[in-house]
Amino acid sequence: MPIRRPALLVLIVGACAAQEPALALGVGPTVFADRDSRRLIQGSDGYDFKEDHGWKGVLGMSAPERAIFGYPWVDFDWSRTKGEGNRIDSVGTYYMERVPLGSMFYLGAGLGSVYENLRLETPTGKRRDDEWTFGGKAVVGLALYGPLYVEGSYQYNIGTTLGVETDLYGVIVGLRF
């Protein structure tokens, strides 16, 4: 028992003293990659920037050392898109590696598990379905002043739920500490 406390303290101090921040929080808009999926939310092919997108929240945790290619992260993503009586939720957990390109830019990629929950309005009534699937995520990021960062992402989910492809693009603004 006395060894556990110092070991836990060393892990916490090591994570805080690392060059890479140990925790990140971000939020931003998303849009579906598939045109038919966008029609479910938008109701047409037109796009209104103020209304025709969803929102995404990201919580990321990093280790204080390099992994295979870059710095290892575990990302927890949640996105919700709704409109025209339809709602699409996607919750993912990804193992990511972010590779710094100089002092400001970075690239990243990862694999994970995604839970999808859909509620759709159809001419025959409401339809609901949910399922687990595998997915991948690619990111391009820019470290701004201090802990502030901007990150663009593409999230690919294998398969469909209720015939809907839930791959999406997203841009988040966040803080790392």
pLDDT in tens, 47-83: 555 556 899 999 999 988 889 999 999 999 999 998 8
Q: How many domains does the chain have?
A: 1
The DSSP code sequence of 106-141 is EEEEEEEEEEEEEEEEETTEEEEEEEEEEEEEEEEE
Q: Count the alpha carbons within 13 Å of 34 in the hemisphere toward its beta carbon.
A: 14
Q: How is residue 34 annotated by DSSP?
A: S
Q: Which domain holds residue 163?
A: 4-176
pTM: 0.81
CA nearest neighbour of 97 among 110, 106, 85: 110
- Spatial separation of the C-alpha atoms in residues 29 and 153, rounded to whole Å: 11
> Which tokens belong to 159?
């398969």
pLDDT tens digits, one per residue of 107-161: 999 999 999 999 998 778 889 999 999 999 999 999 998 899 999 999 999 998 8
Residue 42, strand partner residues: none
Q: Kindly state the DSSP code that residue 69 receives in the 8-state scheme.
A: S
Q: For residue 82, give the CATH number of its domain.
A: 2.40.160.20
The residue ranking higher by pLDDT, 9 or 58, is 58
Question: 2 burial class (0-12, 13-18, 19+ CB within 10 angstroms)?
Answer: exposed
At 145, which amino acid appears?
Answer: Y
